């Protein structure tokens, strides 16, 4: 099962991702799929199809099979998560009540990530999505908790508290922030 993320990105990012799709990867897939479809025995055909999908997924994760925008971003996302030290960490589940996907996380204001006029749609394997969700939630949790404490204080906040709140909002890392960073890695590669 995969999860769809729709991420606001800077102008040109969607085109850069699309330009990174490799037509030869689709040709390889089509040829291999034709080979599998030619297998007459149903059980053998199902096993061959499963093995082929497993090989395609392995290639996608290794950056060797960029047949879709999602495959391009998936590889860059795995590199990004690894560079942050988050990919192979054993993250606890997100706390109950915070597990749903969608909306802005606590402390992130509309437009607080700058001008992002385009939307990048990315389908992620569920295991990668879970690492992304858990890691960003746990990394941001201390800042979010303190922001919630500040929000409960009587108004007006002191100047120091206002500055602290602004700093804490910048420390909140969203799933979209990490996907944007991954997509922006394509700039460096081009």
What is the distance between the alpha carbons of residues 33 and 113, in angstroms, rounded to a whole number? 42
Structure tokens at 2: 């995969």
pLDDT for 108: 74
Peptide bond into 156 cis (omega under 30): yes
What is the distance between the alpha carbons of residues 104 and 68, in angstroms, rounded to a whole number? 27
Is 188 buried (19+), middle (13-18) or exposed (0-12) by CB count in 10 A? exposed
pLDDT for 111: 60
pLDDT in tens, the chain (190 residues): 899 999 999 999 999 999 999 999 999 999 999 999 999 999 999 999 999 999 999 999 999 999 999 999 999 999 999 999 999 999 999 887 776 655 567 677 666 556 888 999 999 999 999 999 999 999 999 999 999 999 999 999 999 999 999 999 999 999 999 999 999 998 755 5
């Amino acid at each position: 099962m995969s999860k769809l993320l729709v991420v606001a990105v800077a102008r040109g990012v969607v085109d850069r991702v699309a330009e990174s799709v490799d037509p030869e990867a689709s040709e390889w897939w089509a040829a291999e799929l034709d080979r599998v479809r030619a297998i007459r025995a149903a059980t053998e055909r199902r096993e061959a199809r499963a093995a082929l999908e497993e090989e395609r997924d392995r290639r996608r994760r290794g950056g060797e099979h960029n047949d879709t925008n999602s495959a391009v971003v998936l590889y860059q996302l795995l590199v990004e998560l690894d560079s942050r030290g988050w990919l192979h960490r054993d993250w606890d589940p997100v706390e109950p009540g915070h597990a749903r996907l969608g909306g802005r996380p606590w402390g992130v204001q509309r437009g607080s990530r700058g001008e992002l006029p385009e939307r990048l749609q990315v389908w992620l394997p569920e295991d990668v999505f879970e690492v992304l969700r858990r890691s960003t939630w746990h990394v941001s949790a201390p800042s979010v908790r303190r922001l919630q404490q500040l929000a409960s204080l009587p108004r007006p906040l002191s100047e120091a508290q206002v500055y602290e709140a602004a700093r804490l909002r910048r420390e909140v890392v969203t799933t979209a922030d990490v996907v944007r960073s991954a997509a922006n890695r394509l700039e460096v590669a081009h």
